[in-house]
């Protein structure tokens, strides 16, 4: 069954993808924006210049976790330069594209990358910590109702949207 999300959520539960352990309850997340870099093109016959998309050249992808509390379970998210693999889980309202009914469906993101910023925030007793972890993402996959709708892999030049491999031709052209 195919679903269309009506609105992207930014509130998730955080799970350690390596251990399967839930590491944080409800956290707000700033998800990456997938933008393709472009190159400036100018030449004879062109007045000025224009920007042309550069295949396989994405803007740096970052994900920011805003953690309300720090604990021994979230410490690995704050360690600078360490590789992290996490899963973000949420329930969202999606439109069933067959019946046009609104349904509660699961959304999950698998994210891999290195921590570039780890701010533990306040460490006073049981106070709200306001810890922040920024991850430079090199792999991300999104699942909606158990179906993969997005996969992006920086090192393997993969960008798959709803089952269509947008980078297959580029990989073939460079011999990958």
Instruction: Record the tokens describing residue 83, joined without a space.
Output: 């590789």
CA–CA separation, 21 vs 86, rounded Å? 10
Specify the number of domains making up the chain: 1
pLDDT value at position 49? 75
pLDDT value at position 72? 76
With respect to residue 43, please indicate whether it lies within any of the assigned structural domains. Answer: no
With respect to residue 40, please indicate whether it lies within any of the assigned structural domains. Answer: no
**Residue 128: pLDDT above 60?**
no
**Between 18 and 55, residue with greater pLDDT:** 18
The least confident of 72-81, 82-91, 143-152 is 72-81
CA–CA separation, 145 vs 151, rounded Å? 15
CA–CA separation, 154 vs 125, rounded Å? 40
With respect to residue 42, please indicate whether it lies within any of the assigned structural domains. Answer: no
Domain enclosing residue 103, as ranges: 3-34+53-173
**Between 112 and 24, residue with greater pLDDT:** 112
Span 89-114, mean pLDDT? 86
Residue the block writes with tokens 């106070």: 127
pLDDT value at position 67? 82
Instruction: Record the tokens describing residue 38, joined without a space.
Output: 């472009």
């Amino acid at each position: 069954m195919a679903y269309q999300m009506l609105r992207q959520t930014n509130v998730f539960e955080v799970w350690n993808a390596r251990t399967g352990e839930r590491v944080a309850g409800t956290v707000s997340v700033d998800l990456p924006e997938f933008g393709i870099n472009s190159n400036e093109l100018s030449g004879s016959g062109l007045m000025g210049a224009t920007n042309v998309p550069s295949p396989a050249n994405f803007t740096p992808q970052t994900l920011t976790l805003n953690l309300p509390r720090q604990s021994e379970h979230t410490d690995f998210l704050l360690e600078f330069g360490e590789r992290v693999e996490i899963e973000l889980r949420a329930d969202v309202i999606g439109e069933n594209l067959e019946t046009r009914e609104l349904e509660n469906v699961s959304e999950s993101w698998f994210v891999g990358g290195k921590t570039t910023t780890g701010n533990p925030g306040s460490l006073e007793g049981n106070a709200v910590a306001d810890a922040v972890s920024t991850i430079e993402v090199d792999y991300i996959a999104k699942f909606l109702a158990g179906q993969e709708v997005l996969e992006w892999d920086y090192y393997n030049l993969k960008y798959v949207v709803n089952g269509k491999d947008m980078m297959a031709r580029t990989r073939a052209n460079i011999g990958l």
